[in-house]
Structure 1
């Protein structure tokens, strides 16, 4: 009974605004765990104490909507021949984790892996969060390097934070299609160098204008002690209380950001694509608010759980590509690379 109730709550509480009911911000984090335990009980009740089977089945049925937001069931990609090939393009989103910069030192091996992945994927539109570039000597100007390597004639950079005039951080969009206009929309403050603004760009694709919104929503900004607590259960009561307080504060800020993003989508005169690092799972107020009336590229063409974060838990899909109809999703791919904190994702779309 307890597991079934927990499953139902984890599936439905995320529809409530966590600024008004803060537990809703945490509930969705447990959904897949609760679902797995509940499914195990269904198997158990089939062979033992069948009178309890209906309880677990009720939990299963009442949480199906959340399950279908969490997993992709496309074993074979669809083959739609009705689209025009000249109206097809690809878009990638990638949280670069500062392009491998660590303690103001560039990791040449990780940077090389990033560039190899980009050359392999070669998306027509590339959106990057937690992006870092440097105009100083002995460091890498990633804007010039990526634009030259992948032949992007157009780009827009938010430059949310700078150090010593040369070190720049923010969100960037590269495009092989003309950028009609772009803007940086403030959405709060983040010390990560990304997450202080949304990037909005109107792009002319084969004679049709689309609007791309890309962002990194508020991060929990976990530190060493937080990871010890989350991954190994090592910590004090005070540490648990501080972690819960940090997460609650972050969830509140992310809820406000998600409503602002939804407002930008609704106000757009063009078809909209939203992509980026939402820092939240598919069973969340954040996802429910932003993805309303949008197609999730992973759910349309992906398979499995679709993990995009390489640590903490194997079930975390927190990076997304969402598209409004009549844009059609034709393909989806995750690029798993050793050393990446976030796995880049790319979708093939058609106008």
Structure 2
């Protein structure tokens, strides 16, 4: 520090703070939000912390200053975090007769409140879905009041079901032999599931929409929020998500079928919520075969991946795609899977 000019010293102090925050974030997946809700909020900013440390590393390196070591060491310690954020090359789709595809898409109530241009509606979303012909389709924020009918598909919760919340729907080209809903208390959110028969195998498919933080994505509106309010709001959301995930995991533990989990987690791959759902026995389709940032949510500040397709290790991921289409505030994702 002694040989640095005053301006460079200030930059290195900022660098040190950002490196420290990234280092702290590495333990967040192991800290329940109920224990430390405020700290868990940091998981949302991990992509920004990674990018910032990369910038500082390059900055000091180009100036031939040994300060580059700080960010380099922190980045190397969390190398797996970088692979969660960005995949440098996509795996080529492996074409096999036994392949089948799973799509997950938060359709944001078919643009009911016209957040997007008026021409984006249920029909444009149906057209997209039909053009991409996924074998299993899981939808979140699906309005049963505008029920959707897809030719050649069985469905669950696509039409009104007494005692079951709307918001989620599953469509399948394969027969659905059993289905149900796990209602989350004190919220409109829930998880639904369908037991799907593919040839001689029965597969349990879950889809859910975990509690939303309600954070504004509009920059001007976000500026009006105080940091204290934002931290309290997101912390409360993560606590609610923990309750929902605990209910979900207790339900999943009773299932003996090979399982696929899809949905809008409203949280990132760096969170306690993601780690608990993924566990030790599931694989993330994006990690296996995705490319780029895998952004699934239209957040203006940095790429956010909050929608996931997870599958038992009994499945091989033979392909993965994030669709760059503006039909919602989320982007559809699709995985090509093969059952061993």
Q: TM-score, with normalisation over the residues of structure 2?
A: 0.85
For 2:62 and 2:230, the matched residues in 1 are separated by 41
Distance 1:153 1:31, change over 3 A: closer
Does structure 1 conserve the Cα–Cα contact (< 8 Å) formed by 2:38 and 2:231? no
2:258 aligned residue? 271
- The superposition leaves residues 95-122 of structure 1 with CA deviations (integer Å, 9 ceiling, x where unpaired) of 111122228xx95642232022111111
Pairing 1:160-171 to 2, within 5 Å after superposition: 169-171=166-168
Is 1:208 paired with 2:201?
yes
2:317 aligned residue? 329
For 1:242 and 1:43, the matched residues in 2 are separated by 35
For 1:153 and 1:30, the matched residues in 2 are separated by 39
Residue of 303, 311, 315 corresponding to 2:299: 311
2:176 aligned residue? 179
Is 1:59 paired with 2:82?
no
2:192 aligned residue? 199
Does structure 2 conserve the Cα–Cα contact (< 8 Å) formed by 1:156 and 1:173? yes
Distance 1:40 1:153, change over 3 A: closer
The CA deviation at 1:76 is 4.0
- The superposition leaves residues 166-202 of structure 1 with CA deviations (integer Å, 9 ceiling, x where unpaired) of xx832111111111111111122334xxx1x210211
Is 1:147 paired with 2:150?
yes
For 1:240 and 1:39, the matched residues in 2 are separated by 25
Residue of 138, 142, 167 corresponding to 1:131: 142
For 1:316 and 1:20, the matched residues in 2 are separated by 25
Pairing 1:1-351 to 2, within 5 Å after superposition: 1-48=16-63, 50-77=65-92, 79=94, 85=97, 87-102=98-113, 109-134=120-145, 140=146, 142-143=147-148, 146-148=149-151, 151-157=152-158, 169-191=166-188, 195=189, 197-222=190-215, 226-227=216-217, 234-235=223-224, 239-292=226-279, 293-351=281-339
For 2:184 and 2:255, the matched residues in 1 are separated by 17
SS of the equivalent of 1:50 reads coil
The CA deviation at 1:232 is 6.0
For 1:234 and 1:53, the matched residues in 2 are separated by 32
1:137 aligned residue? none
For 2:294 and 2:93, the matched residues in 1 are separated by 18
The CA deviation at 1:47 is 3.8
For 1:55 and 1:205, the matched residues in 2 are separated by 52
The CA deviation at 1:160 is 8.3
For 1:323 and 1:68, the matched residues in 2 are separated by 18
For 2:294 and 2:49, the matched residues in 1 are separated by 18
Cα RMSD after superposing both structures: 2.5
Distance 1:234 1:314, change over 3 A: closer
Structure 1 residue runs of 5 or longer lacking an equivalent are 135-139, 163-167
SS of the equivalent of 2:296 reads coil
SS of the equivalent of 2:286 reads helix
Q: TM-score, with normalisation over the residues of structure 1?
A: 0.83
SS of the equivalent of 2:202 reads strand
Does structure 2 conserve the Cα–Cα contact (< 8 Å) formed by 1:133 and 1:169? yes
For 1:203 and 1:304, the matched residues in 2 are separated by 31
Structure 2 residue runs of 5 or longer lacking an equivalent are 1-15
